[in-house]
Amino acid sequence: MPEITRDEVAHLADLARIDLSDAELDHLAPQLQVILESVASIQGLAGDDVPATSHPLPMTNVFREDVVTPSLTPEQALSGAPAVEEQRFSVPRILGDEQ
Amino acid sequence: MSELILKTAAELADSLAAGETTSVELTQVHLDRIAAVDGDVHAFLHIDAEGALSQAAASDARRANGDALHALDGVPIAVKDVLTTIGLPTTCGSKMLEGWVPPYDATVVKKIKDAGLPILGKTNMDEFAMGSSTEHSAYGPTKNPWKLDRIPGGSGGGSAAAVAAFEAPLALGTDTGGSIRQPGAVTGTVGVKPTYGSVSRYGLVALANSLDQVGPVTRTVLDSALLHELIGGHDPLDSTSTTTPVTGLVDAARAGATGDLKGVKVGVIKELAGEGWAPDVMRKFNESVDILTKLGADVVEVSTPSFQHAMAAYYLILPAECSSNLAKFDAMRYGLRVTPDGDPSAEDVMKASRDAGFGDEVKRRIILGTYALSSGYYDAYYGQAQKIRTLIIEDFKKAFEQVDVLVSPTSPSTAFPLGAKLDDPLAMYMQDLATIPANLAGTPGISIPAGVSDVDGLPVGVQLLAPVLEDARLYRVGAALEGAIGPVLSIDKLEVAR
């Protein structure tokens, strides 16, 4: 049976940029273990001869003419921003202390 | 209560055309109904009385002016809160988007506005459409109008409950694994998941791009056909949009209403029965199959062995896609931003915001998806799930070589009590056993009311499935079955006040 430990859940949450509390880790880790055991039933069911499907219908890339079409104004584009400065999205510092 | 709210959308359209009523009156009686019962049902997250009445007045002016009108011009509608609406909040049932007002309309929203349907408001849903009970909404659950301590299904429980409680004659929903059809089944309403790509998804806040589809939520098959034709068709803003015109659905529903199914081959899916299926649901379902035979259909049993693995494949593919999709909620450009103390970096802000903004189910699926896409597990899980998807598509193809439509119960049980499965995610996932295969294969499906359970008196749904782009078959067979079963939903059967 595959195992997903509390430490592994903490690591995955870190990769997914979710700051889970200890209480959440205690709560979510065992639930994820149950789900994983259930979905793991498909391991090895389909052999190498079965192609993978990523999309239900066959599709090709779509291009459009390179012409200007109406788009959002800067005010509209920034209307939901948590913080705005000089017509730009204002964000916290990106580099850590060591950088 | 005005008797007008009991009419179907098609009947309301006829009344408007005959000059017996106005769109302002229709919109007002539905707003009155919402005011009277939505405190109990909680189908709506936002109500836009002013906007709806102004759209209704514009519709009445167009009609008075003799302008060319769409058949549904003036008939009010409710919209699931996962579709963007200019000037109206769009929260997706999440604290992450609390108060967010989008600067653009979803294409389907633009289409209903252009056709003149007043928008009553936005309906409740499981957070980012993850769930089967609407209990994962950050704004509290919707109640089933039949029995207020029962779930209305999910994720589109708000749209289904609004239509079932006669708060709206029509609603839009979205279906990624059954979120239109399962709520339809447990509320005694009609819900359709169109062929993948045949209805634009531009402005639908994506859960899983290879599975999501917008569709109609109504009280009759004909009403679904009218709404489906309105929202369907190619959209250059959606790169997955098919170019095949979406037509002939209303004609198919009218043809089906004659009740003649001679020459139609129907396949009962062998794998969607047995253990895990409630006996009262199966009894009602078997009655529907007998009715199909009486209407002249040739009914046979069909086996689709890979369907047994559909749920496992789905709960790897969906989390994988959603973990990637929901990465956009990073607290930088829109949505909730939580800033921890000190001198936090952008990454610290992201982590704190995503912890505060997302609920448990969203976190579970993001973490599961992150796991399934990790190097070392990718081939064993996500890769394998994609192969199962191929097998499911092949099983559908083989089945449709033998029959015109497939039939199964929509949901394994009637509406369960609120809270019953909230701490058991896997039990919740089982609700979608019958609906998931169509999303994996891109095929269309419809749920129509089969009757009420002989155990708890709650509605049971029957699901029809057709090949890709053959949505019209659902309407023909669905309308015939609906006519023979007779009305299932009526206001007097509801616990919610008349």
Q: Round to whole Å and give the CA distance between B246 and B469.
A: 8
- Residues of A with Cβ-Cβ distance to B102 under 8 angstroms: 80
Q: Round to whole Å and give the CA distance between B207 and B318.
A: 8
pLDDT above 70: percentage of residues in chain B = 100
- What is the pLDDT averaged over residues B59-75? 96
Q: Round to whole Å and give the CA distance between B206 and B225.
A: 24
**A-proximal residues of B, 322-381, CB under 8 Å:** 323, 327, 330-337, 339, 343-352, 354-355, 358, 360, 363-364, 366-368, 370-371, 374, 380-381
Q: Is the pLDDT of residue B175 over 80?
A: yes
Q: What is the pLDDT of residue A99?
A: 58
Q: Round to whole Å and give the CA distance between B363 and B370.
A: 10
Label residue A98 by pLDDT band (50, 70, 90).
low
Encoding tokens for residue B490? 């009526």
Q: What are phi and psi of A64, to 5 degrees?
A: -130, 165
Distances (CA, A) of B24 to B119, B191, B241, B433: 12, 27, 34, 42
Instruction: Decide if B80 is catalytic.
Output: yes
The full DSSP string for B174-243 is: E-SSSTTHHHHHHHT-EEEEPPTTSB--TTB--S-TTT--EEEEESSHHHHHHHHHHHBS--TT-TT---
In a domain, B33, yes or no: yes
Q: What is the pLDDT of residue B274?
A: 84
b/e code B282-307 from CB counts within 10 Å (16+ = b): eebbeebbebbeebebebeebebebb
Dump pLDDT digits (tens) for A41-68: 998 899 899 999 998 888 888 888 999 9
Encoding tokens for residue A16? 């997914």
Question: ipTM more than 0.90?
Answer: yes
In a domain, B183, yes or no: yes
Neighbours of B68 (CB within 10 A): 6
Q: What is the pLDDT of residue A1?
A: 66
Q: Round to whole Å and give the CA distance between B487 and B405.
A: 23
Encoding tokens for residue B258? 């004659």
Q: Is the pLDDT of residue B182 over 80?
A: yes
Residue type, B47: I
Q: What is the pLDDT of residue B168?
A: 98
In a domain, A25, yes or no: yes
Encoding tokens for residue A78? 């920034």
Structural domain harbouring B216: 3-258+448-459+485-493
Distance (Å) from the alpha carbon of A6 to chain B's nearest alpha carbon: 12
Q: Round to whole Å and give the CA distance between B174 and B122.
A: 13
Q: What are phi and psi of B194, to 5 degrees?
A: -70, 170
Q: Does A1 touch chain B (CB under 8 A)?
A: no
CA-nearest residue to A17 within chain B is: B351
Q: What are phi and psi of B496, to 5 degrees?
A: -65, 140
Neighbours of B481 (CB within 10 A): 27
Helix (H) or strand (E) segment spanning residue B450: strand B445-452
In a domain, B217, yes or no: yes
Option in A32, A44, A53 nearest B386 (CB): A53
b/e code B329-361 from CB counts within 10 Å (16+ = b): bbbbebbbbbeeeeebbbbbbbbbbbbebbbbb
Q: Is the pLDDT of residue A97 over 70?
A: no
The answer to whether B284 and B450 are in contact (CB under 8 A) is: yes
Q: What is the pLDDT of residue B79?
A: 98
pTM: 0.97
Option in B355, B391, B426 nearest A19 (CB): B355
Counting the structural domains of chain B, the total is: 1
Q: Is the pLDDT of residue B375 over 90?
A: no
Count of positions (residues) in chain B? 498
The residues that bridge with B465 in the sheet, in sequence order, are: B406, B445
Q: Round to whole Å and give the CA distance between B307 and B269.
A: 9
Cis peptide bond upstream of B155, omega within 30: yes
Contact B346 A38 (CB under 8 A): no
Q: What are phi and psi of B203, to 5 degrees?
A: 90, 0
Average pLDDT of the residues of chain B: 97
b/e code B408-441 from CB counts within 10 Å (16+ = b): bbbbbbbbbebeebbeebeebbbbbbbbbbbbbb
Count of positions (residues) in chain A? 99
CATH of the domain at B144: 3.90.1300.10
Contact A94 B366 (CB under 8 A): no
Instruction: Decide if B374 is catalytic.
Output: no
Q: What is the pLDDT of residue B329?
A: 97
Q: Is the pLDDT of residue B228 over 80?
A: yes
Helix spans in B295-345 (H): 310-325
Label residue B385 by pLDDT band (50, 70, 90).
very high
3-class state of residue B422 by DSSP: coil
Instruction: Decide if B155 is catalytic.
Output: yes
A86 exposure class (CB count in 10 Å sphere: 0-12, 13-18, 19+): exposed
Q: Choosing among B242, B348, B367, which should be mutated to test the A contact, i.e. which has the most A CBs within 10 A? A: B367
pLDDT above 90: percentage of residues in chain B = 96
Query: How many pairs of residues across A and B have Cβ atoms under 8 Å apart?
Result: 180
Q: What is the pLDDT of residue B348?
A: 96
Distance (Å) from the alpha carbon of A5 to chain B's nearest alpha carbon: 12
Dump pLDDT digits (tens) for B352-374: 999 999 999 999 999 999 999 99
In a domain, B61, yes or no: yes
In a domain, B109, yes or no: yes
CA-nearest residue to B345 within chain A is: A93
The answer to whether B112 and B77 are in contact (CB under 8 A) is: yes
Encoding tokens for residue B17? 């055309």
Counting the structural domains of chain A, the total is: 1
The answer to whether B165 and B43 are in contact (CB under 8 A) is: yes
Q: What is the pLDDT of residue B267?
A: 98
- What is the pLDDT averaged over residues B102-126? 98
Structural domain harbouring A33: 6-42
In a domain, B424, yes or no: no
End-to-end CA distance of chain A, in Å? 42
CA-nearest residue to B349 within chain A is: A92
Query: Residues B155, B241, B323, B353: which is the catalytic one?
Result: B155
- Residues of B with Cβ-Cβ distance to A56 under 8 angstroms: 196, 210-211, 389, 393, 439-443, 468
The answer to whether B437 and B270 are in contact (CB under 8 A) is: no
- What is the pLDDT averaged over residues A72-78? 95
Q: Is the pLDDT of residue A96 over 80?
A: no
- What is the pLDDT averaged over residues B91-107? 97
Q: What is the pLDDT of residue A60?
A: 83
Q: What is the pLDDT of residue B498?
A: 79
